[in-house]
Amino acid sequence: MASQDKIAMEVLEDIKETPYACSSLDRLSGGGSNFTYRGTLLSALPSGEPTVVIKHTEAYVASIPSFALDAIRSRHESAALTAIRTFTPVSESGITVKTPYMYLYNESTHNQIIQDYPNSVELKSYMQAHTLSESESRRLGIALGSWAKRFHVWGDKSEQEHLKRDIQESKMSSELKFFVNYGWLQETVDLFPDILGRCRDMFKEVADRMNKELKDTDNPDLRLIHGDFWTGNILLADKPLASPSHNLDLFVIDWELTQVAHPACDLGQMFAELFLLKHFRNIDAALYCLSAFMRGYGSIDDEFAYRVAIQFGVHLIVWPCRVPGWGEKEEIQKVVEIGRDFIEHAWRKNKAWFKGGALHDVFYTDKP
């Protein structure tokens, strides 16, 4: 296994004969599955940008070398970012949601060269560092929801069939997503037996259903999704939100877990991460954003909504107890209990229970 310094040197060597040759690489934080750098170009791009982002993928998780992970994920990301060039950025209320431009991909070395967005921060950190008004939060939510809906529609079109088949054939993304959600859901019962013990059989039924769903390639509800759609994969400028008269760009990044699955996976993960900002940090803006997201996405039927609620609950159970820094033991236990309740009521299709709660707008949003 190569050292980090050796990997950086190999990346510089690999790109030196391209228009994106760099004088130096600076390792970026976040995105722990890859070696991600900001490269300072020897010659600025024709558009004037002096830097690019370079992602190098190994057959393991960069931050956990003992965790093997197929390097084919870099090909998936490259294919998705290349295909999505045909998807028009979505603008709502002075906010434009787009994806980074893929400049170059070397499949043999698993190096991607991608558009940089300097002086930016992920939405998760932004909401903790900046105080957002209700109207600002709702602008963000509507823009993200509008983008997600149009992306999910775009991803279901016949023009994307080749990309969908390629991703489905490898199964890497969908199997990993299933494991770290529904596999861990069942394992987490033993971590919180007093809270989750009575749900063991139900959780197995939920996991079995989701596994069956993924294997049904003829399921019309499955389509191309982002696969890791959360506040940590949305970038924006690290400065106060501009007024609607001054456009703000949001970038949806990290496409390596792109997969063919139910779009509720994207919504449930994003909503859970927004809810965690309220639960652990008391950030009201996160819930305003969640609510407005559905205004942008539009109404969905009850079956879709129950699927979102299940994904939401699973995320609350499996992730805060595994990601350090969220909160104290009692706070973690409480969010596990909340996640359990969301899964139970969604599984039993008790729609009335959701009225007035965190996912109210998922069940009760009228069509725009």
What is the pLDDT at residue 243? 78
Type of residue numbered 180: V
What is the DSSP code string of 71-128? TTHHHHHHHHHHHGGGSPPEEETTEEEE---EEEEETTTTEEEEE---SEEEHHHHHH
**Count of CB atoms situated within 10 Å of the CB of 295:** 18
- How many Å apart are CA 139 and CA 240, to the nearest integer? 14
Structure tokens at 30: 């976040």
Complete domains list, the chain, with CATH: 92-99+117-364 (3.90.1200)
- How many Å apart are CA 128 and CA 266, to the nearest integer? 22
CB 252 within 8 A of CB 99: yes
For residue 111, count CB atoms less than 10 angstroms from its CB and return exposed for 0-12, middle for 13-18, buried for 19 or more. buried
Cβ neighbours for 274, distance < 8 A, ≥ 6 positions apart: 231, 286, 287, 289, 290
pLDDT single digits (tens) 82-104: 999 999 999 998 999 999 999 99
Coil, strand, or helix at residue 195? helix
Helices (H), 260-367: 264-281, 284-297, 302-318, 329-347, 360-364
- How many Å apart are CA 57 and CA 337, to the nearest integer? 37
Cβ neighbours for 35, distance < 8 A, ≥ 6 positions apart: 4, 7, 8, 11, 27, 55, 56, 57, 58, 62
What is the pLDDT at residue 215? 86
Write out the H or E segment, with its range, that includes residue 190: none
CB 120 within 8 A of CB 251: yes
Closest CA to 253 of 142, 120, 62, 58: 120
CB 39 within 8 A of CB 24: yes
Closest CA to 278 of 291, 261, 260, 264: 291
Low-confidence ranges of the chain (pLDDT < 50): 367-368
Helices 329-347/302-318 angle, 10° precision: 160
**Count of CB atoms situated within 10 Å of the CB of 230:** 21
What is the pLDDT at residue 1? 57
| Placement of tokens 């510089």 in the chain | 12
